[in-house]
Each structure stands twice: as C-alpha cells, then as structure tokens.
Structure 1
Amino acid sequence: MDRLTFFAIDTDATRAIQRGGPDAYGQLPDRAISDGDGMPCRHCMKNIEAGEDYLILAWRPFASHQPFAETGPIFLHARECEAMEPGQQVPEILHQSPRYLLRGYGSDDRIVYGSGKVVPQPDIEAYAHDLFQDPAIAYVHVRSATNNCYQARIERG
C-alpha cells in the first residue's frame, strides 16, 4: 500500500494573513478568543487553546478562481505558529470530529466526480488509499462533514 502524506496550509500565505493581510475574499479576518473546544488551526494543525486569540477567515486552497475552487471558513492562530511538517501521520486536528468529507481532485484542480464521501474518522486513511487507486486523482482534500470547512490536503507518497 502506498504511503500518504498530510499537508497543512502554506506558511507564506498563513504569515501574510497573521500579519494583517486579507483572506480569499479580500477581507480582513475576524478575531476571536478560543474557548478551547474545536478551534483547529490549519497551519500548525493543533487545537487553538482556551484564551488564545484566533482568526476566522475565508480560505480557497486553489491557485486560481474556477468553478471547483471552493472557498470556506477556517481558523488560524492569531500569533505566528510553527507549521506542521508534512507527514504520514493523521494530524492532531483530524481526531476532533467523528467523521470527515474526503474528495479527490485532478491535476487541473477540479473535483473528480463520484470521489466525495463522508467517512468515519478512523477510515480517513483507508478511504484516501481507495481514492488514490484512481489515476485521475492527484490529491485529496479533507473537509468538515458538517460545515465543509477545509482541514488538510493528502497526497501520495
């Protein structure tokens, strides 16, 4: 079975936002204080602890605007946090919910129809492996099963 690699969002894009830059809609992020429950930072891939400032912003994990370039809300630490290194382990934040939506995308950044499925949290890796059996799938997004918020990217290798 091929290995999977999980990726957080890009550090350069994260730093630009943490330093006052706009989100995917050209707006400044909202600021809030975490209550410590279910506020996953998409850069360090850890929960934002109670009492910490965080940002709520629109995120588009695609380089260009096109019909399949979904945009949705994400959370980031307001402070500059260290990026999660790409790795084979399921990131900490993907243990917070009972299920997630996984969807495959082609190298053209478009959804591969029929690939989207809500899976129980323990089945993330198994379903990603199933998706990668299709050579048309270049990468997989993990999203919230309830709010469609972007969580992480998975690639082969």
Structure 2
Amino acid sequence: MDTQTTTTLLVHAIDPARLAAVYDTGTDAHGNRLLRLAATGEGEPLRCCLRFAEPGEQIALISYAPFDHPSVWTEVGPVYIHAARCAGYTPNGRLPEQLSSGPRVLRTYRDDDSMNYEHNTVVTNDADLAPIIERLLAEPDVATVHVRSLAPQCFHYSVKAGSAYAGRPAA
C-alpha cells in the first residue's frame, strides 16, 4: 500500500515583533501614522491573523515590506492589520483557510532572498493554492513563496516548506 506524502507548509504572517513596534509607536516602519478605519467586510485581508476582516471591525492600513533587511527586491505596499493587537496567526502546517485560494500572484525566492522569476506563478481563478505552492517549494531553487493579491499585488503572507509527513494511504 502506497503512502501519500504531504509537505508541511510553514506560513508566516507579519512578524509579531514588527507589528508590536507599529502598535507601540502608532506608525509603520516607513513613518506613516496608522490609518484606522472600519472594515467593510468586502475582502480586507488582515495580515496580522491571516483572515478577512468582518464588517465594522476596526482595522488599520499600514505600509509594509516583507523583507526586513536590505534587498533590491524590497517592495513596500499597503496592508491591512487589526487597529489593535490581536492574537495573531497560529501556524498549523496548512495555508490560512480564508486566504488559501486564488486569484493570487505567487512570487518565488531563492535561499538568498533573490527573486526567482522562472517560477513566479499567476493564479487567475479560485484554485486551491496549496498544491501549487507545494509544487513550487519542491523546486530546488525555490526557498520561499510570497502570496500576493492579483491586481494590486499586495503582500498577504510567505510560505516555506517544512518537513514532510506521511498522510493517509493513497487510493
């Protein structure tokens, strides 16, 4: 009997220490004051806890760059977070449920954080992103995948491959 092997996906929301600095100072890392607003509930993805905001929930818009070190691939863009600290995202080896399908842009990066243009992928439909990301992370020259929105290409979260585990027997 064959056993199906699945890759554990190590999903990273905005680093809690970087978020703490934003909440403590009231400004993002680029000097912008927190822009607080009530969520419409029409698709504001929260990068602190990796879910969509509920209508009326207090959220904030900040500028964010996924890389916290010098890199020519450092891009700063707007992202939503809760207006006040939340419990954050608890990794579970899978993609966050509400942000696990397309449409999305999947940007791939090597171990040295240089972008790997060869494997960047555009998902134009509502496909499940997990198998696509698993395939990308199986490439020997892909260490990290950044999941971004399709049109504005705003950062959602990053994913690395964890250890593989044996799943249920394959049919």
The normalised TM-score by structure 2 is 0.82
Contact 1:39 1:75 survives alignment (8 Å) = yes
Structure 1 gap ranges (5+)? none
2:81 counterpart (76, 80, 92): 76
Q: 2:112 maps to which residue?
A: 108
Contact 1:8 1:84 survives alignment (8 Å) = yes
Q: 2:24 maps to which residue?
A: 19
- 1:24 offset after TM fit, Å? 3.5
Give the 5 Å matches for 1:69-148: 69-95=74-100, 98-119=102-123, 120-148=125-153
Q: Secondary structure at the match of 1:19?
A: helix
Give the 5 Å matches for 1:37-52: 37-52=42-57
Amino acid of the structure 1 residue aligned with 2:51:
K
- Which one has a larger percent strand, Structure 1 or Structure 2? 2
Q: How many residues end up aligned between the 2 structures?
A: 156
- Cα distance, 1:141–1:98 mapped onto 2, change above 3 Å: closer
Q: Secondary structure at the match of 2:17?
A: helix
Q: 1:32 maps to which residue?
A: 37
Structure 2 gap ranges (5+)? 1-5, 163-171
Contact 1:24 1:71 survives alignment (8 Å) = no
Contact 2:9 2:95 survives alignment (8 Å) = no
Measure the CA separation in 1 of the matches of 2:56 and 2:119: 38
Query: For structure 1, which segment, 35-44 or 22-31, has the greater mean C-alpha deviation from structure 2 after superposition?
Result: 22-31
Contact 1:7 1:85 survives alignment (8 Å) = no
Query: For structure 1, which segment, 38-47 or 143-152, has the greater mean C-alpha deviation from structure 2 after superposition?
Result: 38-47
| % identical aligned pairs | 32
Deviations 1:103-153 (CA, angstroms, capped at 9, x unpaired) = 111122110122211113433112212212222211111000111111111
CA RMSD of aligned residues (A): 1.8
- Cα distance, 1:98–1:154 mapped onto 2, change above 3 Å: closer
